[in-house]
């Protein structure tokens, strides 16, 4: 039997509905509902993350044990686990959606590891909860592979994220209308165990404010600060203000990191926003291939275009405003929270310029650099240049002899390369002048740039290939992607994992656009 040391503060310090009944309902006056995972027929371990295993002080042998498979498929609870689904609400696509809650996520408990860190374990796809509404509480293999791989890829890119311990197939099928076109079909089911210091979302606070449960909201705020924000002093008389400011800061930093690597979350609803600033709820996310600020991977967002690459900062701020509205119902005034929003704006601006300077190899950002950077982003968009490839190639440019040929492989279309080469040459000359204005060498610049511009990203088509292979029982592609994802800035990644999106992937479901069906 696996030995984990549980200390379940969320359920022991906050009120919950402990009836254990999974029937869909509104759960007023509580932060959680006790619920057990529903057993699955034939669980099989497809993959696990060695790093997350070690965070939990578990060994590879543990991961292969019957006890691991049983616990992380939801077939049994380990001693000390106290499973529950959290109650939260959210603004979806700009509208208040009322109670949402963990409809298919079931938290198992909070582990304290040997270093004294707290890590909560949560199964996604483990069966119905009081928040499942009419859905089945399950997850399909394709979305589980995507969540498993992307959580780990993001972590190794250095971006705050929930982690993934395990990917287990259930041996059962799940009915989904993948393309939302009226043709549902059976798909293999799977369960991911995700791991994070806290799974609390903006929506956990919003639901209580919307119900005027002010005392409980106050209690949840104090709980969250005590457990998840040791740097905030609850005894100071402006703690809500300082806490909200920190949330704003972390959210701003997170969004800048997404922009750095070309990650588009796809569903930035307030229920998918982590209070501690992690990337959370991997659904129809996507990675930028040809640079396009107006790209959204989410088919549901095709018309609104609310969650495109470039909209992410504005949406993050909008979401923080909704959180501020909720917190204002117990804060001394709404005005004390406005400082946090202003702090979001300034943090975003400074972090953005620091990030862009690093991406372009500039030692220091100056005001004129904005135009230099914007003009090449504009060119990249018009000429359909691959973002990841472009920045790795840009690191090779010699400041004394800039040569556009070195960037050639970042172009998808020969004709667009030819049509835009004059403009790119002009830009490169300007870039070279800018580089020579700083005390630097080509080698030093290249090594700095290659530490912020990844060689490997989890391109949409790569994840899709891994899904198709895994569906046919072959997990080798998942393992290859995991291996590359561990060293995303290294040069020696297998060429087939760094290749630009092939043409066949442009309109293939899963490779370009994704529905929320998961
Ligand atoms: P999402 O768009 O995945 O963030 O989900 C929005 C809400 O729908 C959350 O409350 C989810 O828990 C719930 N939900 C999504 N898929 C399912 C499902 N298959 N079964 C039950 N609830 C779900
Ligand atoms: Mg969600």
Burial of 325 (0-12, 13-18, 19+ CB in 10 A): middle
- 325 CB less than 6 Å from ligand 1? no
- According to the model, what pLDDT value does residue 29 have? 98
Quote the ligand 1 centre to 102 CA distance (angstroms). Answer: 7
pLDDT of residue 512: 80
**SS3 assignment for 467-486:** HHHHHCCCCHHHHHHHHHHC
For residue 241 and ligand 1, the question of a CB distance below 6 A is answered with: no
Residues 411-433 have pLDDT tens digits of: 999 999 999 999 999 999 999 99
Express each pLDDT in 432-441 by its tens digit: 999 999 999 9
3-class DSSP state of 391: helix
Q: Whose CA is nearest to atom 13 of ligand 1?
A: 103
Sign of CA pseudo-dihedral 219, 224, 227, 233: negative
pLDDT tens digits for range 467-499: 999 999 999 999 999 999 999 999 999 999 999
Interval between CA 281 and ligand 2 midpoint (Å): 5
DSSP 99: E
* Å from CA of 365 to ligand 2 middle: 37
Evaluate: CB of 138 within 6 angstroms of ligand 1. Answer: yes
Q: Quick one: pLDDT at residue 199?
A: 98
pLDDT tens, residue by residue, 249-280: 999 999 999 999 999 999 999 999 999 999 99
So what's the pLDDT on residue 509? Answer: 86
270 lines ligand 1 (CB under 6 A): no
How far apart CA 142 and CA 466 sit, in angstroms, is 9
pLDDT interval class at 515 (50, 70, 90):
confident
Averaged pLDDT, 226-234: 98
Q: Decide: 267 in ligand 1 pocket, CB within 6 A.
A: yes
Is-contact 56 89, C-beta < 8 A?
no
CB–CB of 510/469 below 8 Å? no
Q: What are phi and psi for residue 4, nearest 5 degrees? A: -130, 145
What is the rounded average pLDDT of the residues 27-38? 98
Mean pLDDT of 432-454: 98
- What is the pLDDT, as a whole number, of residue 516? 86
Token pair belonging to 463: 């994840």
Tens of pLDDT, residue by residue over 75-85, are 999 999 999 99
Query: Which listed residue (271, 289, 301, 386) is catalytic?
Result: 271
**Ligand 1 pocket check: which of 84, 104, 143 to mutate, most ligand atoms within 8 Å of Cβ?**
104
Every domain of the chain and the residues it spans: 9-197, 243-357, 360-518
- What lies within 8 Å, CB to CB, of 16 at 6+ separation is 30, 31, 32, 33, 34, 84
Q: Does pLDDT of 443 surpass 90?
A: yes
Q: Binning pLDDT at 50, 70 and 90, where does residue 184 land? A: very high
Contact 316, 345 (CB under 8 A): no
Instruction: Write down the residue that tokens 């090449």 correspond to.
Output: 376
Ligand 1 centroid to residue 199 C-alpha, Å: 15
Q: Residue range 342-370: average pLDDT? A: 98
Nearest to 166 by CA among 306, 80, 2, 49: 49
Residue 200, Cβ neighbours under 10 Å: how many?
23
Whether 17 sits among the annotated catalytic residues: the reply is no
Q: Calculate how far, in angstroms, residue 85's C-alpha sits from the geometric centre of ligand 1.
A: 12
The pLDDT tens digits of the residues spanning 284-322 come to 999 999 999 999 999 888 888 999 999 999 999 999 999
Quick: pLDDT tens for 40-93: 999 999 999 999 999 999 999 999 999 999 999 999 999 999 999 999 999 999
DSSP state of 114: T
pLDDT tens-place string over residues 192-208? 999 999 999 999 999 99
Q: Which residues lie below 8 Å from residue 261, measured CB to CB, with a gap of 6+?
A: 157, 159, 287, 388, 454, 457
Q: Atom of ligand 1 at shortest distance to CA of 281?
A: 4
């Amino acid at each position: 039997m696996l030995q984990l040391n549980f200390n379940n503060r969320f359920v022991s310090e906050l009120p919950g509905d402990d009836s254990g009944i999974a029937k869909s309902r509104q759960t007023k006056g509580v932060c959680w509902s006790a619920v057990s995972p529903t057993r699955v027929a034939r669980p099989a371990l497809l993959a696990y993350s060695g790093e997350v295993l070690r965070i939990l002080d578990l060994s590879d042998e543990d991961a292969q044990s019957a006890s691991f498979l049983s616990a992380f498929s939801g077939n049994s609870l380990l001693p000390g686990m106290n499973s529950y689904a959290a109650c939260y609400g959210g603004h979806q696509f700009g509208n208040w959606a009322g109670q949402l809650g963990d409809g298919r996520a079931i938290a198992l408990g909070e582990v304290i590891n040997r270093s004294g860190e707290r890590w909560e374990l949560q199964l996604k796809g483990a069966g119905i909860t009081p928040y499942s509404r009419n859905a089945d509480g399950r997850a399909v293999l394709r979305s589980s592979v995507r969540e498993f791989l992307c959580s780990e890829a993001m972590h190794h890119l250095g971006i705050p994220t929930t982690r993934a311990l395990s990917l287990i197939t259930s041996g059962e099928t799940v009915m989904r209308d993948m393309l939302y076109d009226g043709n549902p079909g059976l798909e293999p089911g799977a369960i991911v165990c995700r791991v994070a210091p806290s799974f609390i979302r903006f929506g956990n606070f919003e639901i209580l404010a919307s119900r005027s449960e002010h005392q409980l909201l106050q209690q949840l705020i104090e709980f969250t600060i005590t457990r998840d924000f040791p740097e905030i002093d609850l005894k100071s008389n402006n703690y809500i203000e300082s806490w909200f400011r920190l949330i704003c800061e972390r959210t701003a930093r997170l969004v800048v990191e997404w922009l750095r690597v070309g990650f588009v979350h796809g569903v930035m609803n307030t229920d998918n926003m982590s209070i501690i600033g992690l990337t959370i709820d991997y659904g129809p996310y996507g990675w930028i291939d040809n640079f396009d600020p107006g790209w959204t991977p989410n088919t549901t967002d095709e018309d609104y275009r609310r969650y495109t690459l470039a909209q992410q900062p504005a949406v993050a701020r909008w979401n923080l405003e909704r959180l501020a509205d909720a917190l204002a119902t117990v804060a001394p005034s709404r005005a004390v929270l406005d400082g946090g929003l202003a702090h979001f704006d300034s943090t975003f601006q400074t972090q953005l310029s620091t990030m862009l300077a690093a991406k372009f190899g500039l030692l220091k950002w100056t005001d004129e650099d904005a135009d230099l950077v914007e003009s090449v982003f504009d060119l990249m968009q018009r000429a359909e240049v691959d973002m990841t490839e472009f920045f790795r190639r840009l690191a090779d440019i010699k400041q004394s002899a800039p040569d556009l040929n070195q960037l050639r492989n970042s172009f998808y279309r020969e004709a667009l390369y030819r049509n835009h080469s004059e403009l790119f040459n002009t830009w490169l000359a300007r870039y070279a002048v800018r580089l020579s204005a700083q005390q630097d060498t080509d080698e030093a610049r290249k090594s700095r740039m290659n530490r912020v511009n990844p060689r490997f990203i989890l391109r949409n088509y790569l994840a899709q290939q891994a899904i198709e292979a895994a569906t046919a029982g072959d997990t080798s592609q998942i393992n290859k992607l995991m291996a590359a994802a561990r060293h995303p800035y290294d040069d020696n990644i297998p060429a087939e994992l760094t290749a630009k999106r092939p043409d066949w992937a442009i309109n293939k479901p899963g490779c370009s656009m994704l529905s929320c069906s998961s």
